[in-house]
Amino acid sequence: MKILVLNSGSSSVKFQVIETDLERMNAHEDRTLATGQVEKIGLDDSRLVLKVPGRKPYVDYREILEHRAAIEWALRILADPEHGILSEVDDIGAVGHRVVHGGEAFASSVVITPEVVQEIEECSALAPLHNPPNLRGYYAAHAALPEVPHIAVFDTAFHQTMPPHSFLYGIPFQLYTKHSLRKYGFHGTSHRYVAFRGSQILDWDKDEKKLITVHLGNGCSLAAIDHGKSVDTSMGFTPLEGLLMGTRTGDMDPAIVPWLMAMEELTLHQVNTMMNKHSGLYGVSGVSSDMREIIEARADGHQRADVAFRMFCYRVKKYIGAYAAAMGGVDAVFFTGGIGENSPEVREWALSGLEYMGIELDTKANAKTTGGEGEITKRSSRVKVLVVPTNEEKTIARDVVRVLNGIMPTFEPPETIS
Residues of this chain that interact with other proteins (CB under 8 A) are 11, 42-44, 65, 247, 258-259, 262-267, 269-271, 273-274, 277-278
- Enumerate residues 6+ apart whose C-beta is below 8 A from 50: 34, 35, 36, 57, 58, 59, 74, 77, 78, 83, 84
Give the torsion sign (CA, 170, 173, 176, 179): negative
**Exposed, middle or buried, 132 (CB in 10 Å: 0-12/13-18/19+)?**
middle
Minimum CB distance to other proteins, residue 286 (Å): 12
Q: How far is the CB of 279 from other proteins (least distance, A)?
A: 9
Angle, helix 303-327 to helix 344-351, in steps of 10 degrees: 60
Nearer to other proteins, 51 or 278 (CB): 278
Identified catalytic residue from 21, 60, 91, 155:
155
* 35 or 247: CB nearest other proteins: 247
Amino acid at 192: R
- Least distance between other proteins and beta carbon 262 (Å): 5
Nearest-approach distance from CB 280 to other proteins, in angstroms:
12
226 classed as catalytic: no
Least CB distance from residue 275 to other proteins, whole Å? 9
Give whole-number Cα distances, 315 to 210, 324, 337, in Å: 20, 14, 16
Q: Is 281:220 a contact under the CB 8 Å cutoff?
A: no
Instruction: Give catalytic residue positions.
Output: 155
